[in-house]
Structure 1
């Protein structure tokens, strides 16, 4: 499994501008709207916020992995975002999040969605990977780090 199978260079937001959870989720969902005709960005954000109510996806160490399922998309997609200043995201360790991996899946997909979340979690446990991610100069540099990860 490679992130490049679910991620496109256009799905990388090298510097998130939002300052709240909702703003960041809206920003992360936006690239998917272009490739998924009929996808309602507001509905996607609502799905993600409902998932957040079950428990934060801010897992600590500056990482958040928001995820949800939506009928309006036809394949699993990953959108990656970064905030150098950090965003208050109600993370488990109460620290701001800097690294965001959004995973959106069609309603009928379950197993692959979970395997992808596990793959991302393992990848982000690697301190070297996180440091390279945070140091990358721009979206192109991030794409080089992520496409074969």
Structure 2
């Protein structure tokens, strides 16, 4: 499994402007509804906030992987975002998050959803890979890095 199988170039946000957890979620979701206008922005945000209420998806090492399931989806949607300055995402290690992967999945594909979350976690455990994401010059370089990962 490669992230590029689920991540489209247009779903890479190299310079998030958000400064809070809520703003990060809104900015990531904004890209989702731009590309998939049939999705209800408020419903998507509600699903993500509900998941966050169970426990933060800020897993540490500057990484957050907000995710949720929607019955209105027919495919997995993946968005990658980067904040150079970092955002307090209530991460488990109490550090700012710089790398964000939003994963939205249809209700009926739990197995694939979990494999994508595991793949993202596995890739981002590599300090050099995280560093490459943070130092990539923009969308094209991030796409080269993430599309083949």
Q: In terms of mean alpha carbon deviation, does 94-103 or 37-46 score higher?
A: 37-46
In proportion to residue count, which structure has more strand? 2
Give RMSD over aligned pairs. 0.9
> Where does residue 117 of structure 1 map in the other structure?
117
Q: CA deviation at 1:26?
A: 1.1
Distance 2:28 2:95 in 1: 20
Task: State the TM-score, normalizing by the size of structure 2.
Answer: 0.97
> Where does residue 91 of structure 1 map in the other structure?
91
> Where does residue 19 of structure 1 map in the other structure?
19
Where do residues 34-73 of structure 1 align in structure 2 (5 Å cutoff)?
34-73=34-73
SS class of match (1:11): strand
Q: In terms of mean alpha carbon deviation, does 57-66 or 18-27 score higher?
A: 18-27
Distance 2:131 2:66 in 1: 20
Which residues of structure 2 form unaligned runs of 5+? none
> Where does residue 140 of structure 1 map in the other structure?
140
**How many equivalent pairs are there?**
149
Q: CA deviation at 1:35?
A: 3.5
